[in-house]
Amino acid sequence: MQRIINFVLRYRNAFLYAFFAFISLVMTIRSHSYHQSKFFNSSRWVTGSIYGAGSDVSSYFSLQEENKRLVEENQQLRKMLFNAQYDSIDPLNSSLAVYQVLDAKLIKNSFTSPRNYILIDKGVKDGVHQDMGVITTDGILGIVENVSNNFATVQSVLNTKSNINAKIKGTQYFGSLIWDTKDYTAVQLIDIPRLVPLVVGDTIVTGGMSSIFPENVPIGIIKKYDLDDAKSFYNIDVELFSDMANIKNVYLIENKDKEEIEELESRTIE
């Protein structure tokens, strides 16, 4: 206690100066409308800045919630779209729908190697398994290759091992979608006969001939084309709808009939 008293006595002049300065400031503000206006304007600015900062923080978390809600809505809409071809099925009834859709976030992405892979934040515990199709909000992305309990790796369409059934939208002309490693914004559609009329800008979609992707999932548009060496089939450059260098949210597609179809096909081949 004595130390506090000694401290006050030692700096009593400073305390007295601060006290009288405060009294003078208050009297000046109360007796002059200009200073009073400046004081309250400054107060409003400080208060507004504090509330503004608080509002920005609230808006940030609100945007996160809004983004989550939009992802979930997009997931449901895609599920309805993929199951719309089955007239007798209620697309919102999970027990009846042929295609189920899961959402996930991208953790790691590569697009400059000959064999590119993508890491996502969903795994076995979330219902993810090998050979599920993966898409973005814009188009096709790849196929799940390996799965752990909490994560999965996706073989990108930008991979020399990738081979996906695709077709020209609105037709039944099918081919194989591959990648020549030259450009991460484009893949190649091969095995399209030369008799097929092509137009630059035509849309390419999944063909639905595999049990991985539903039919008509967007892929891209025809960028250019020419004939192969035998002059029998086209080599078509397809500009991807998905921006392969800028991906955050993805959707995984599960075909509940996949195992039954593949088992039947294997027995037929034998």
The tens digit of pLDDT for each residue in 84-104 reads 665 544 544 554 568 888 999
Rounded mean pLDDT, 223-237: 91
183 near 245, Cβ under 8 Å? Answer: no
- The two three-digit tokens of residue 193, written as one number: 């006969």
Whether the pLDDT of residue 154 is over 70: the answer is yes
pLDDT, residue 156, reads: 97
Rounded mean pLDDT, 34-56: 49
CA 84, 118, 167, 132 torsion-angle sign:
negative
Calculate the average pLDDT of the chain.
Answer: 80
DSSP output for the chain: -HHHHHHHHHTHHHHHHHHHHHHHHHHHHHH-HHHHHHHHHHHHHHHHHHHHHHHHHHHHHHHHHHHHHHHHHHHHHHHHHHHTT-TTS-TT-TTT-SEEEEEEEEEEE--SSSEEEEEES--GGGT--TT-EEE-SSSEEEEEEEE-SS-EEEEEEEETT--EEEEETTS--EEEEE--SS-TTEEEEEEEETTS---TT-EEEE-S-SSSS-TT-EEEEEEEEEE-TTSSEEEEEEEESS-TTS--EEEEEEETTHHHHHHHHHHHH-
Whether the pLDDT of residue 149 is over 80: the answer is yes
244 vs 40, which has greater pLDDT? 244
Whether the pLDDT of residue 34 is over 50: the answer is no
12-26, 156-170, 201-215, 234-248: the lowest-pLDDT one = 12-26
232 near 223, Cβ under 8 Å? Answer: no
Whether the pLDDT of residue 49 is over 60: the answer is no
Most confident of 177-186, 201-210, 211-220, 227-236: 177-186
Whether the pLDDT of residue 203 is over 50: the answer is yes
Whether the pLDDT of residue 207 is over 80: the answer is yes
pLDDT, residue 196, reads: 92
Rounded mean pLDDT, 10-22: 64
Any idea which residue has 């700096």 for tokens?
Answer: 11
